[in-house]
Chains A and B, each alone.
Chain A
Amino acid sequence: MNPEAIKSKEIMQGSAAIAETIKAIAPGVIAVYPITPQTHILEHLARLVADGQLKSKYITVESEFSAASVIFGAASAGVRSYTASASQGLLLMTEVIFNMAGTRLPAVITAVNRSLSPPINIQVDHQDTMTLRDSGIIQIYVESIQEAVDTHIQIFKIAEDREVLLPAMVCMDGWILSHAYEPVTLWRDEAVQEFLPPFDPVFQVDPKNPLTYGALTDDDKITEFKYMVHDALIRSKEKIKKVAGEFRDAFGNYYGDVIEKTYTEDAELILIAMGSMAGTIKAALEKLRAQGKRVGLIKIRSFRPFPDQELRTALAGAKAAVVLDRSFSCSSGGILGGEIKACLYGQGGPQVINYALGIGGREIYPETVLEIVNQSERLVESGKIPPETIFYNLNRELL
């Protein structure tokens, strides 16, 4: 850690740490609509604005559709903009998010992951953000409050880069990260602003120089426009790596680039996960390693852009990959599991075992991980790995 960049070290709630970080980043516009478990972030920012500590334009709106539209408008005017949401709120933003990605407007959304209704449930899973995966938005999933803080600073730089210019999302698990208290290092405003240059837009709405946004495009050019978004998202992978390195140089913290590997070099079985459950898995790995078991973990930080090449390389020596999905696509199964199978198909990599678990806040303990590793070892030995997703601890008595 770079001691000169440190503002404070204290035990604080995740939401407060994010709000204090947004203060240091100082977006010109913050769009505000409350939804559990995200509300604490925007409430904390309201206090900072009311106290005169933050000069952002704080715009309260009547729905998440409007919140996303406000940051779209602000970004088109060349202003750095920010909002936060969760669950159904993110779904209501979906139309605008596709629009922002297609129009190549960068803005940042904190997605505090929460299950989707019905039935109503306010606990964590990844179904909300995973449902936005095809939009063109950058999605980075974080493991701890400190990683959430540091990733917010990085992600503005990635999204606003002229070679990227896409909306971006930091996905942090509801409650486990948003409401828990952890020791957090906050960074001095000057250090953050030195790291993060001002947003320099390519286009800017200006009455003196009228522009058309969202013009009609026929079939002779539409594939090419869509391809440009696809291509920009792929190219953003190198920016994520570069900015993670720059952040390490400036502040001292590093969490991997698009993926983070733990004990993977000699591992026969590699678990793959996103978000806070990576921390739980790391605790379980210590026990497994003490027993001499060759098990490792790949934490996916960047789900979009998808780290396909990086996964193929990291998984090359393993017998089996065990993908732990906190969401699923109805009738198809685990979303991450399906994408990892697709990226390995025909490449001679490991077999893939896919679990769906932790839905709607169903707790994932280190013991859960140990049991999944045991089950997976038995499946590999038996040679009977099911092609479909295994719903971990599904209570069939209730069905």
Chain B
Amino acid sequence: MKLNLGGVTEAGRSKQNRTGNWRYFLPVVDQKRCNGCGTCELFCPDSAIEINNKLCLINTFYCKGCGICARECPRSAITMQVERGVAV
């Protein structure tokens, strides 16, 4: 795909912006510990978590890996795993 002149694009396309590309840490849910309470869904600043049938689903297209869900989870069911190179 060639780039548009001056970065001008059709309007209303921000949903197509894969902010998941910004992520260094991926939230991983231990479904055995998770009871589907929905605290993470409420706290997620990017609306990238959905609780469906008591199952916690992370939308990796938008999740930026901020880690708020892991911090807030009352059952410590979410851990942040290094997804791409980070100097430790």
Contact residue among A104, A216, A218, A224 (Cβ-Cβ distance under 8 Å from B6): A104
Cβ of A381 to closest chain B Cβ, rounded Å: 52
Tell me whether B3 and A212 are in contact (CB under 8 A). no
Tell me whether A216 and B8 are in contact (CB under 8 A). no
Cβ of A304 to closest chain B Cβ, rounded Å: 18
Interface 1/0 per residue, A198-220 and B, CB below 8 Å: 00001100000011111111101
Cβ of A9 to closest chain B Cβ, rounded Å: 41
Cβ of B72 to closest chain A Cβ, rounded Å: 27
Q: How far is the CA of A214 from the CA of B4 in the complex (A)?
A: 12
Contacts of A218 in B (CB 8 A): 21-22
Contacts of B52 in A (CB 8 A): none
Specify the chain B residue showing the minimal Cβ separation from A103. B6
Tell me whether A210 and B3 are in contact (CB under 8 A). no
Which residues 1-21 of B have a CB within 8 angstroms of A?
Answer: 3, 5-14, 17, 21
Tell me whether B3 and A224 are in contact (CB under 8 A). yes
Tell me whether B5 and A165 are in contact (CB under 8 A). yes
A102 within 8 A of B: yes
Do most interface residues of chain A lie in helix, strand or loop, or is the interface mixed?
loop
Given the known inter-chain contacts A210-B12, A212-B13, please indicate yes or no for A225 contacting B7, CB distance below 8 A: yes
Tell me whether A228 and B3 are in contact (CB under 8 A). yes
Contacts of B12 in A (CB 8 A): 210, 212
Contact residue among A103, A165, A202, A220 (Cβ-Cβ distance under 8 Å from B7): A103
A29 within 8 A of B: no
Which residues 214-273 of A have a CB within 8 angstroms of B?
Answer: 214-218, 220-221, 224-225, 228
Tell me whether B5 and A210 are in contact (CB under 8 A). no
Given the known inter-chain contacts A218-B21, A220-B21, please indicate yes or no for A212 contacting B5, CB distance below 8 A: no
Q: How far is the CA of A279 from the CA of B7 in the complex (A)?
A: 42
Q: How far is the CA of A215 from the CA of B3 in the complex (A)?
A: 12
Specify the chain B residue showing the minimal Cβ separation from A101. B6
Contacts of B8 in A (CB 8 A): 103-104, 203, 211-213
26 residue pairs A–B, Cβ–Cβ below 8 Å: A102-B6, A103-B6, A103-B7, A103-B8, A104-B6, A104-B8, A105-B6, A165-B5, A165-B6, A203-B5, A210-B11, A211-B8, A211-B9, A211-B10, A211-B11, A212-B8, A212-B11, A213-B6, A213-B7, A213-B8, A214-B7, A215-B13, A217-B7, A221-B3, A228-B3, A228-B5
Interface residues of A (CB under 8 A from B): 102-105, 165, 202-203, 210-218, 220-221, 224-225, 228
Closest 9 CB pairs of A and B: A210-B11, A104-B6, A103-B6, A203-B8, A212-B9, A212-B11, A104-B5, A211-B8, A211-B11
